[in-house]
Amino acid sequence: MLYIIGLGLSDETDITVKGLKAVQGSERVYLEAYTSILTVGKEKLEEFYGKSVTVADREMVESESDAILENADKVDVSFLVVGDPYGATTHTDLVIRARELGIPVQVIHNASIMNAAGACGLQLYNFGQTISIVFFTDTWRPDSFYDRVAENKKFGLHTLCLLDIKVKEQSIENLARGRKIYEPPRYMTVNQAVEQLLEIEENRGEGHCTPDTLAIGCARIGTPSQKIVAGSLAELVNVDFGGPLHSLVLIGSRMHHMEADFVREYAVDKTTFDDLVKKSIGPK
């Protein structure tokens, strides 16, 4: 059996009982280590699970999946994913490859940012399409996701923005020269995401991500140190959210007044927040 097991959002104790039993009964255990991170390293997982854990980077999962799936039709293998197993398309691809090889697959779910985003006070059924914001470079400043924001805004829906993670990435020069030299890990902050959104808005000029746009910055959701701050994009760009992982929610005009009351407690400035809410959804 290939078990694909969600680990949740915080530390080694967030695994479900079902997931823990599967791990402890597996001959090999892999930890996917590039789409998200926990607050603890693999050593903590090994201590808690009582099993050796192999860290699987992007190259291994996407190009060497045969090593992960080897003999999984005869022995149990666990593939651990931070958050929920279906939070990244790579894990869907692994399931397809296992099926093609006749390997039984069992997915064990857990919390992910896709549902834990409700901690910010907005109702999940009022969210539209989720987008990903990637790091700008000197020569690549993509803005195609802005169209998804515009579609959500059209219907008054909130937009969850997942922020870029760069783990075990090579520079263009090292990649071209075939040198296995990797850049230090980078995790996009709310501040960087806001700066990029405001730059795109300045270029596009469609009014969906202006300095007055209401948003909520979230950091380390599901952990003891989580931080949630609401305000305009102009306000959030200056907030210190601390360490990774960060995400951003753009608030839609269909925000209910109960949502507004909940979110208000996280506001940088409650008076400013109240004024922007009135402009967005009107008075109570």
> 276: how many CB neighbours lie within 10 A of its CB?
21
Q: What would the mean pLDDT of 218-226 be, rounded to a whole number?
A: 96
With cut-offs at 50, 70 and 90, classify the pLDDT of residue 181.
Answer: low
pLDDT of amino acid 175: 64
Residue 131 annotated as lining a ligand binding site: no
pLDDT of amino acid 60: 81
Residue 252 annotated as lining a ligand binding site: no
- CATH 3.40.1010.10 assigned to 2-111: yes
Q: What would the mean pLDDT of 261-275 be, rounded to a whole number?
A: 96
* Distance between CA atoms of residues 190 and 240, nearest Å: 9
* Distance between CA atoms of residues 212 and 234, nearest Å: 7
pLDDT of amino acid 275: 94
Per-residue CA distances from 240 to 37, 64, 163, 251, 274 (Å): 20, 39, 16, 20, 22
pLDDT of amino acid 28: 96
**Of the candidates 66, 64, 59, 116, the residue with the CA atom closest to the CA atom of residue 87:** 116
pLDDT of amino acid 170: 59
- Fold held by 114-281: 3.30.950
Residue 144 annotated as lining a ligand binding site: no
Q: Under 8 Å CB-to-CB from 25, ≥6 apart: which residues?
A: 76
With cut-offs at 50, 70 and 90, classify the pLDDT of residue 87.
Answer: confident
**Under 8 Å between Cβ of 228 and 255:** no
Residue 276 annotated as lining a ligand binding site: no
Residue 52 annotated as lining a ligand binding site: no
Residue 84 annotated as lining a ligand binding site: yes
Residue 113 annotated as lining a ligand binding site: yes
In the chain, domain spans: 2-111, 114-281
What angle do the packed helices 17-24 and 42-49 form, to 10 degrees? Answer: 90
